Structure 1
């Protein structure tokens, strides 16, 4: 990005560049945006509990008349996402609907409406934990217990918390040797569960592509189909009334750009350590500018968290 600006603006906050404003919260945006697409992990919750102020912020947006859709790169179906939200303590009253990467992947395998998915065989092996086995409950496939019996792989993430890429390289090598296509149901590379970093399906799929030349179909943010579906749920509103809120520059923010909607980047999520941002605080403007340059993204706003 060009035309750096590090001056303070009393009304709108700090200008990081000609593209991104640092704001202390969302209150000033409640009249500008009445359709919200909100990320879950790192924005609304940390995998264990709601993040401070997040529920109250969405309640305030709702009271102002906003329609709110939650959009997650959760690698399983929407029904599972709703169950997780309830377990974490996110009330259904603060959002209208939920959609996720796992759901759109499941539908793509079922419908086979594009050439890539239409070429898949029926037998699918899962790389993921047992709790993701319902992804194999699909009229478009038969479950394969072993890679050697499979026509393709569905990757939902590591089987256990704490696993690293090294735990899967041999398995990925066997899949590549068999020339098995892979369906990745979560493009995220990593996530914070509480304060602990864990790899996601995207890290495994990326390794499959880069180390072994594997053929991967990616589903979820930042790819356009998942945004098209959420915008359809919102009755295809004017794009300048829609705001994407999330902590992933390569997923939430990049996807918003693809969908031609504004994005608010939550700096207190997965990038907080990299930015040197303490909880509930904005990072140094130069740190944010450097990170945005590195990843090639320009969110309209940056916020410390999902706070009013």
Structure 2
């Protein structure tokens, strides 16, 4: 005899919130993992009510951490939100893809990163501020023949051996990438986003290089 079992199916209960402030007012959450661009600010200024909402979360004992695909390091990210008027002390810290990239390149305890070598072509920023490679013991080169890997922090400039950045069009950087792909040179993308918000505009991010590389067939 097969025992019978009964079950009562309850429909999923959904609740719609109009913004972060309304969600914070529920006081249901003790830990907040917050993106920054498009959530807290638009790259130029905080969204209306964002600062006061975070202050209210902190008052209720909520712990907040910024998690971002930014190619910047964590300390730079916290300085960024501070410059926009946020109280950086409200955050336990920040985790960025740029910070993780830096740590992996510094430690070299992962076999894939350990195999990269020390000579790299560096795609970085110009107007947005170049990314520092201090502490990584890397030799930045501009000649593909000398490169052991590509490090993509930005989409606006080509890094130089002297630490300066030379502004370049995205199309020109992609041409360099095609040469690297033809030689099967590996690439580290420090920001996987295709675009990010900046005020009312969308800015192309290094993830675009990864997308473009899928259409490149190495010889």
When the two structures are superposed, what TM-score results if normalisation uses the length of structure 2? 0.79
Match of 2:164 in 1: none
Task: Report the Cα distance in structure 1 between the residues aligned to 2:169 and 2:39, rounded to whole angstroms.
Answer: 24
Matched, 1:194 2:203: no
When the two structures are superposed, what TM-score results if normalisation uses the length of structure 1? 0.57
Of 171, 176, 183, which aligns to 1:171? Answer: 176
The answer for unaligned runs of 5 or more in structure 1 is 1-16, 215-308
Task: Report the Cα distance in structure 2 between the residues aligned to 1:18 and 1:27, rounded to whole angstroms.
Answer: 22
Match of 2:130 in 1: 132
Going from structure 1 to structure 2, the CA distance change for 1:18 and 1:129 (only over 3 Å counts) comes to: same
Matched, 1:82 2:78: yes
* CA contact 1:186–1:201 (8 Å) conserved in 2: yes
Task: Report the Cα distance in structure 1 between the residues aligned to 2:12 and 2:177, rounded to whole angstroms.
Answer: 43
Q: CA deviation at 1:97?
A: 1.4
The answer for unaligned runs of 5 or more in structure 2 is 1-10, 158-167
**Aligned pairs (5 A) from 1:204-215:** 204-208=209-213, 210-212=214-216
Q: CA deviation at 1:164?
A: 7.3
Q: CA deviation at 1:90?
A: 2.1
Larger RCO (CA within 8 A; separation ≥ 6): 1
* CA contact 1:76–1:132 (8 Å) conserved in 2: no
Of 50, 56, 59, which aligns to 2:55? Answer: 59
Of 14, 17, 25, which aligns to 1:23? Answer: 17
Going from structure 1 to structure 2, the CA distance change for 1:180 and 1:138 (only over 3 Å counts) comes to: farther
**Aligned pairs (5 A) from 1:247-266:** none
Larger radius of gyration: 2
Could you list the per-position Cα deviations for residues 40-85 of structure 1 after superposition, in whole angstroms to 9, with x for gaps in the alignment?
1100110000111111111111111011111121102122222322
Going from structure 1 to structure 2, the CA distance change for 1:190 and 1:18 (only over 3 Å counts) comes to: farther
* CA contact 1:69–1:99 (8 Å) conserved in 2: yes
Q: How many residue pairs end up in the alignment?
A: 193
Q: CA RMSD in A?
A: 2.3
